[in-house]
Chains A and B, each alone.
Chain A
C-alpha cells in the first residue's frame, strides 16, 4: 500500500527538480524493505502454497508437477491442471491434524498466560529499579541469547530428568520422598516454553512500563487511590500495548514450536510443529507438510488481522 502511495508521489510532476529528487529518494527508502519482504518472504510462501497443491512423487524434488519454464506457457497451463486440493481434504479427514492444531493452540494459550504471569513482575521490577541498574537488568534478560537455544533446552533435560538437579534438590529439602516424573510430560514443555520465551514478553512489557509517567501514580494516590487499586486502574491499562505485543511475540512462535515439545515433551505431547516435521522429514510428504504450514499460517494470521483492524478502528483507545 505504501509502495503504491510512494509510486504516486513519484509520478506527480515535480515543480522543483530538488523535490523530484527527494521524492525519488523517499521511494527508494520505502521500496527497499518491501523488495526484501517480497523476495524473502512472499515468494517462498507462494512456493509453499504451490507445493501444498501438488502430489507426492518418488522423485527429486519429491512432488509433482514441477513448474518449469522449459515448456513455455503450455507447460504452465498443464501444471496448473494437475493441481489438487487432496492435501487439504486429507487434513480434514484424519483427526490427528485437528487434534494437533487444537493441542498446539491450547499449549500456546496456557504458556502465553504463564509467561505473562512470570514476566510482568520482572518487567515491573526492572522499570521501577534505579536508572543506574536498568541497563544491567536489561542485559541480564538478553544474556541467554548468547547461548544456543538448542543447548539451553538440552540443559533442561539435565535439570528435569528423574535423577536431575530439580529432583535432587526437592529430595534434599524433603518436599518429596521419591523423584517426580517431569521430563517427557506437558509440564516439562510448559517449563521449557516459559523459560525460553520469557525475554520476548519481558522486553515489550518493560518498554511499556518504563515509559509510564510516575506522576500518574502520584495523581492517583492524591485522588484517594490505594497503591494496589492504582496498579489495576492506571499501570495495567497503560501497559496493555506492551502486554499485547508480548503475548503476540510468545503466542505465535509457540504455536508452531518444534524443538521444546520434541526434546522435553513425551510421546503424548501433540503439537503441530512436531507433526509438520514428521510429515516433512520422516514421511517425505512435502505437499501435505506444506498444506499443514499454510493452514497454521491462516490460523495465526486471521485472528491477528481482525484484532489489528479493531485496534485501528478504536483509535486512541490505547495510546501506543
Chain B
C-alpha cells in the first residue's frame, strides 16, 4: 500500500503568485443564508487549475456549504461561483463537471464495487467496452481489483473509502471535491492515504478541493490552505506560510500549538518591533515590519518548538526571555512539552525533541527555568 511519498508543495508550482494565471474555480462575493443563519458571508476566493486546495475550519464555519455550492447541492443566496470561466448559476448537479467524494462515502449499498464505479460512466451512455476498461483502470489505481464483485457492506472502512475515491474519479471530473474524506479512517491508514491522495492528484493532474477540520491533514495534502471562521476566510496561503506567518490570532491558534504573549508596542522602526510585555515582565523585540503605532496592543505569536528552555539564564536577560517554574511535562515520545508558569500566572509552552533516550530528564517538575527565543522566531500580530 505504500505509495511514493510526494511532498505537498510542488517545486515551482505557484499559479497564485502569477498575475497572468486564469482562476479555475472562482467565488465572487458569495453569500449563503439558511433562514437567519449566514453560513457563508461575502466570500471571494480563487482556486487554480491542478491545485490541491484545502478548506480548513471548525465545524459550522461554512466550508462544507462552500464545497456544496461547487457541486451544485446549494445555490448561493448572493454572488456567483464560476468554474473555468463559466458561471455555475442554475446548473443542476448532474450537469456539472465536478464529482464529489462524500464524507459518508455514500456508496450504493445494492450495487457491487464495479457497479458503483461504473454508475457515473453509464449515465454518460459510454460504450460498454469503454466502461469496463475504465472501471478496470480505476480498480487498479485504488488497488481493489480482487474486490470488484463485493458489495459495500462486505468491505472495510479503508476499502469503502477507496471505492468512493475510484467512483468519484471515474468520470475524470474537472474538479474533485473531497468532503472530510479521511475522517472515518484510523490514524495510520489516514496518514498513508493522505500521501496516496497527493500522489493520485499529481498523476492525474486534476484540481482537488478538500474540506477538512483536521489541520494536519490540510497541511499534508494541500498546495494552499484557506482557514475559515464563521463564513469568512481568515487567511489563504501555503501550509508553511499559514504555520509560520499567521495573519491573526485566530489562524495562529487554529493551526498547531502556539504561545500568545500580549504587550504594548514601544517602538516600531527599521524593521524591528519592540514590545513591552507585562506577562513576561520583560521586553520583546521581533524583526518584522508591521503597521501599528506605539502604544497599540500587539501579540507575539510563537510556536512552542521555537522557545528554548534552559536551567541557565541567557546572556541578555532584558529581552526575548522570561523565567518561570515547570508546571507540567507532557511526554509524547518523540517530543516533550514543558508547561512553564510565569510569575504573572501565564503559562508558556516549550517543546523539546527527545534526541536521546532519557531515563531522567535534566529538567523536571518545579524546576526554575529560563525560556528564550530569537528575534525571528515569532510573529507579531495586531489582530
A residues lining the B interface (CB < 8 Å): 213, 215-216, 218-226, 229, 233-234, 237-238, 316-319
Contact = CB atoms under 8 A, between A and B. Distances in A.
Given A218-B102, A238-B109, 10 more contacts: A219-B108, A220-B108, A221-B73, A221-B92, A222-B98, A223-B167, A223-B171, A224-B94, A224-B124, A226-B94
Interface of B: 71-73, 92-96, 98-100, 102, 104, 106-110, 119-120, 123-124, 151, 153-154, 167-168, 171
Given A222-B71, A238-B110, A319-B109, A213 B151 contact: no
B106 A215 contact: yes
A319 B167 CA distance: 21
Contacts of B151: 316
Contacts of B92: 221
Nearest to B99: A222
Contacts of B153: 316, 319
A218 B119 contact: no
Nearest to A230: B94
Nearest to A223: B120
Q: Interface on chain A toward B: helix, strand, loop, or mixed SS?
A: helix
A224 B102 contact: no
23 contacts: A213-B106, A215-B102, A215-B104, A216-B106, A218-B73, A218-B93, A220-B108, A221-B73, A221-B93, A222-B93, A222-B98, A222-B100, A222-B168, A223-B99, A223-B171, A225-B120, A238-B109, A316-B151, A316-B153, A316-B154, A317-B110, A319-B109, A319-B153
A216, A221, A238, A318 interface centre (most CB from chain B within 10 Å): A221
Given A237-B110, A319-B110, A219 B100 contact: yes
Contacts of B98: 222
Given A224-B124, A225-B94, A318 B110 contact: yes
A218 B74 CA distance: 11
Contacts of A233: 119
A216 B109 CA distance: 9
A224, A225, A233, A318 interface centre (most CB from chain B within 10 Å): A224
B102 A225 contact: no
B123 A224 contact: yes
B100 A234 contact: no
A51 B200 CA distance: 75
A92 to B, nearest CB: 43
Contacts of A319: 109-110, 153
A234 B107 CA distance: 11
Nearest to A216: B106
B106 A218 contact: yes
B94 A221 contact: yes
B120 A224 contact: yes
Given A223-B167, A224-B171, A319-B153, A216 B108 contact: yes
Contacts of A215: 102, 104, 106
A225 B72 CA distance: 13
Given A218-B93, A316-B154, A223 B110 contact: no
A223 B119 contact: yes
A104 B95 CA distance: 49
B100 A213 contact: no
A99 B294 CA distance: 103
Contact of B104 (A213, A222, A234): A213
A225 B108 contact: no
A198 to B, nearest CB: 27
Nearest to A224: B123
A219 B106 contact: yes
In the complex, the 10 A-B pairs of residues with the closest C-beta atoms, listed nearest first? A223-B120, A224-B123, A219-B106, A221-B93, A215-B106, A222-B100, A221-B94, A237-B110, A224-B94, A225-B123
Given A238-B109, A238-B110, A220 B104 contact: no
Contacts of B104: 213, 215
